Each structure stands twice: as structure tokens, then as C-alpha cells.
Amino acid sequence: MKQPNIVFIMSDDHAYQAMSCYGHGLNETPHIDRIAKEGIRFDRCYCTNSICTPSRATILTGQYNHTNGVRTLHDSLDNTRQTFPKLLQKAGYQTAIVGKWHLGHGEKHDPTGFDYWNVLPGQGLYHNPVFYEMGKEVQYKGYATDLITEKSIEWMEQRDKEKPFLLMCHHKAPHRPWEPADKYKNLYDDIEFPYPDTFDDDYSTRGRAAHKAKMRIEDLKEKDVKAKTPAGLTLAEEKRWKYQRYIKDYLRCIASVDDSVGEILGYLEKEGIIDNTLIIYTSDQGFYLGEHGWFDKRFMYEESFRMPFIVRYPKEISAGSISTDFVMNVDFAPTFLEYAGISIPEDMQGESIRPLLQGELPTDWRKTIYYRYWECDTPEQPSEHNVFPHYGVRTDRYKLIYYYTHGLDLSVNQEDGPIAPEWEFYDLEKDPAELNNVYGNPGYSQEIQSLKEELERIRQEIGDHE
Ligand code: CA
């Protein structure tokens, strides 16, 4: 059988709540939805670490962050490491990455394993961005999302049509500072978006981490909402005003991403290769759209932990499928290798999801997801959002989170006392919004003990001993 092409489209910080195929009713994303409608939607895809750089490293290496060495935003990927694009390239695939890289630059960190790479430096800019095209600095006129689309299609256009290809099209949008294209700057002007049910969460049952995180809608700065707060608003009114400014720009950025997906699908269709191409749309993690009163990501609570993940490949996927099985970003690399007919290296830690795409669940499929967020606010590496480091496990029904302190320099948090380790436990069946931490509830002591054992088991299994 001919190896399929792989078109991997990933946006940055695109919450599943802002894709209409996930049914939240916030906005319309018809082109993205087409992938789900003609393919499969995963409702339980999770990242190993809800932040840009580590998630990208996991996707490329098929490894957890303690293994691939990219734990925080301050780490870069050692580009001599094994990645799935390198293995595809060796097996005869043509390979390219266009857009956001965010895994470091220079001889040791520039993209490797790609015949063509044209990436933004760091976060890059929305308007008239500079790119590093094969290491050479080039400035383009235009809007980042449109340029990434254009360069992606240009590369596909010049490919050798006799050989399969991998395209990683990585949008910068809708990452902060949420600058929309001019054509969408007035979209939603006359709408007031509804407020999520947990918008006014007071974190009353949560540990210190939720209270101390600096990612509340109130924390949005003037440069984020691109206007001065009108005079005379109460605090509650100001929070709502900021939310409207924030959510509108965020969704306007997504309108351009959806256009981009339409153009890429259109190109594949025109070339007659759409059905022999594994098409993926995802984001590097989830994002808060006002849930728990937050923007940003990082926490192991569902909105940031869960990734949108949809796949179209009609040869194997029944149109309109929905999966609630546990999938992770660590699975992407092994999956692509399997489709390319390459054996999956022992040191990749994920599993190919090909059986799930075909509608079959292996009997030994994982029943637990392990998560670890490493970033810590220290004098050397200040972390703007002050989310405490934590790890934990999620099962079908429960979630156990441990805010750890071992091995950390917590001096920056000394102003109101050092961080103490804390546990949280949620019954997701009774409390899907994660508003009631029941760690102290004796009724759950058996379940808590059992999840603690599962946490230790999985840490042993994947070798996270730190
Ligand atoms: Ca991100």
C-alpha cells in the first residue's frame, strides 16, 4: 500500500471550546469542522505538559519531558535527538515545517529532519513577521497565519509528486497577544459573548496554587486588551469588559486559522491527494476562555490539559467518529511512524493510535493519563503566571494532583510563606467542572489511596524519578 502523506496542522493555544465541532457554540470553524465531520474527533486527548515548548518536544520525540529534556519554556530541544520527522525523512518522505517552532535556535536547536524549514523566531510576530528560512532571516509583508499557509502550499506545490510527504504547518495564532488580521478586526463587534459557568470561581476548595496563579481575566494588561479600561467601572464590570476584549480578539485570530485550514484542504483536494493524506488538526495544549476566571494554560484542570485533536483519513476512519479513549500527544510520533511503515523505536514512550482510528480499542489500552508541569517561578527564571509545579494522574472518573516542592528553589514565593506540598482530588463524574477538591473527604480515602499507587506505578513505568 502506498504510504500516506501526513499534513499536521497545529495552532498555538487553540482551545477545543473554540472549535464548533466540539459543540460549545462559541464560534464557527467550518473548515476545521470538516476534518472532524469526515473523520474522527477525540474528546480525551491530553498533553503531557500544558505549555508550548514542552508539548512541541513531546510531539516530535514521542517522549515525556523528563526523557526528552524539554521541561519548561526555558529549555530548548537538542536537535541531535531522534524525532519522527527524521525517521520519515530517512524512509524517503519529503519533510517540511512552516511556522512556529519555539524549540530554540542556532546550530544546536534549529529544526533538523526537515528538507525545508521556514520558522518564526521564538514566538514571532503577527504582522510583517521575520522568519528564519533554512537559517536565513527573511522579513515578509502580511499576516502570520496567511503567510504560514502560503509558504506551506508553496512547498507542497514544488514537491516530488512520486514520493510521500510530511508537512507540519504550525500556526502562531491564536497565541497571546491575540492580534487579528485586518479583515477580521471588527468581527463580533456587535456581540456580547456569554460568560462560562465557572467565570466567577473563587477557588474556595482549592489549594494555594489556584489562588496564587496570575492568569485571571483581571490580570490581562492594557497591551493584551489593546485599550484603556473605561473609567467608572466596578471591578466586576471591568472583569467582564476585559473578557469581551480578550475573547473577541482570540476568536478573530481563529477565524484566520480556519481560513487557512480551508485553503490547505482545498489544495489537497485540487491535487487529488486529499484521501491519501492523513490530515490532523490540533493545538499544542488547551486554553482557558474565562473558565475558572482565567486565561492561559499550565494547570492539570481539564480546559488546559485537554487538546483538541481531529483526524481525517477516509481509508481507515469512519466519517463522524467520536472517541472518548485516552490519547496523548506522546502518541503522535509513533502513530505517524506506523502509517509510514517504519518500526517504532523502543525509546518512544507513546503508542500508535492507529487501531483507535480504525475504530478498535486494544484490550490493554491505557486507563490513566500522567501529567507533569515543571515550570517554577524562581529569581533566575521568573514565570509570569506563577502556576505552581505539579504532577498527577487522571482516570476515567478521578483526578489526583500533587503540587510538589522537592527539588525546587522557592525563594521567590517566600513573601507569604514557602509553598507547602498540597494534594487535590476530584470526582469528575460528580464534579466535571472541578470546583470541589475532595482530598480531605474520608469517603474517598480508598480511591485516593488507589490513585496514589497508580501515580507511583506510572512514574516508575515512564522513568520520572525526579
Ligand atoms: Ca501553546
Max Cα–Cα distance, the chain, nearest Å? 67
Give the CA dihedral 380, 382, 386, 390, nearest 10 degrees: -40
Ligand 1 center to 12 CA (angstroms): 4
CA of 383 to the centre of ligand 1 (A): 15
* CA 309 to ligand 1 center in whole angstroms: 14
1 or 107, which is more confident? 107
DSSP result, 151-164: HHHHHHHTS-TTS-
Identify residue 267 by its one-letter amino acid code: Y
Average pLDDT of the residues of the chain: 96
Residue closest to 215 by CA, chosen among 12, 437, 443, 388: 388
Which amino acid type is present at position 398?
A: Y
Instruction: Please give the Cα distance from 35 to 38 (Å, whole number).
Output: 5
Ligand 1 centre from 124 Cα, in Å? 13
Question: Which 3-state string (H, E, C) describes 213-257?
Answer: CCCEHHHCCHHHHCCCCCCCCCHHHHHHHHHHHHHHHHHHHHHHH
Residue 401 φ then ψ, to 5°: -125, 135
pLDDT category of residue 410 using cuts at 50, 70 and 90? low
Domain range 369-462, CATH architecture = 2-Layer Sandwich (3.30)
Which CATH code of 1.10.240.10, 3.40.720.10, 3.30.390.10, 3.40.50.880 fits the domain covering 5-180+245-357? 3.40.720.10
Cα 302 → chain centroid = 12
Those residues whose C-beta lies under 8 Å from the C-beta of residue 451, and which sit 6 or more positions away, are 393, 395, 398, 400, 425
Please tell me the distance between residue 173's alpha carbon and the centre of ligand 1 in angstroms: 9
pLDDT digits (tens, 9 = 90+) for 40-83: 999 999 999 999 999 999 999 999 999 999 999 999 999 999 99
Q: Ligand 1 being an ion, which residues bring their Cβ within 5 A of it?
A: 12-13, 52, 284
How far, in Å, is the centroid of ligand 1 from the Cα of 101?
Answer: 11
* Confidence (pTM): 0.97
Residue 127 burial by Cβ neighbours in a 10 Å radius (0-12, 13-18, 19+): exposed
Query: Tell me, what's the pLDDT at 412?
Result: 55
pLDDT band, residue 420 (cuts 50/70/90): confident
The answer, yes or no, to whether residue 385 has pLDDT greater than 60, is: yes
pLDDT exceeds cutoff 60 at 370: yes
Distance 262 CA to ligand 1 centre (A): 22
415 vs 442: which has the higher pLDDT? 442
Q: Across residues 77-102, what is the average pLDDT?
A: 98
**Tens of pLDDT, residues 423-433:** 999 999 999 99
Q: Indicate the pLDDT class of residue 2, thresholds 50, 70 and 90.
A: confident
Helix-, strand-, coil-residue percentages of the chain, each rounded to 5: 35, 20, 50
Average pLDDT rounded to a whole number, residues 340-346: 98
Give the tens place of pLDDT for each residue, 200-221.
999 999 999 999 999 999 999 9
**Cell reading at 372:** 507533569
pLDDT (tens digit per residue) in 262-286:
999 999 999 999 999 999 999 999 9
- Per cent of the chain over pLDDT 70 is 98
> Could you give the CA distance from residue 53 to residue 102 in angstroms, rounded to a whole number?
6
- Quick one: pLDDT at residue 382? 77
Whether 426 and 398 have beta carbons less than 8 Å apart is answered as yes
Residue 175 Cα to ligand 1 middle (Å):
7
Dihedral-angle region of residue 45 (phi above 0 means left; psi in -120 to 50 means alpha; beta otherwise): beta
- Residue 1 confidence (pLDDT) above 60: no
pLDDT band for 162, please (50, 70, 90 cuts).
Answer: very high
List pLDDT tens digits, range 114-144.
999 999 999 999 999 999 999 999 999 999 9
- Quickly tell me which residue has 496570575 as its cell: 214
Question: 142 φ, ψ to 5°?
Answer: 135, -165
Q: What are the residue boundaries of the structural domains of the chain, listed by start?
A: 5-180+245-357, 369-462
How remote is the CA of residue 285 from the centroid of ligand 1, in Å? 6
* Residue whose C-alpha is closest to residue 97's, from 83, 109, 113: 113
Q: Is 80 exposed, middle or buried (0-12, 13-18, 19+ CB in 10 A)?
A: exposed
Mention every residue, 6+ apart, whose C-beta is less than 8 A from residue 318. 40, 359
Question: Is pLDDT above 90 for 302?
Answer: yes
CA of 417 to the centre of ligand 1 (A): 31
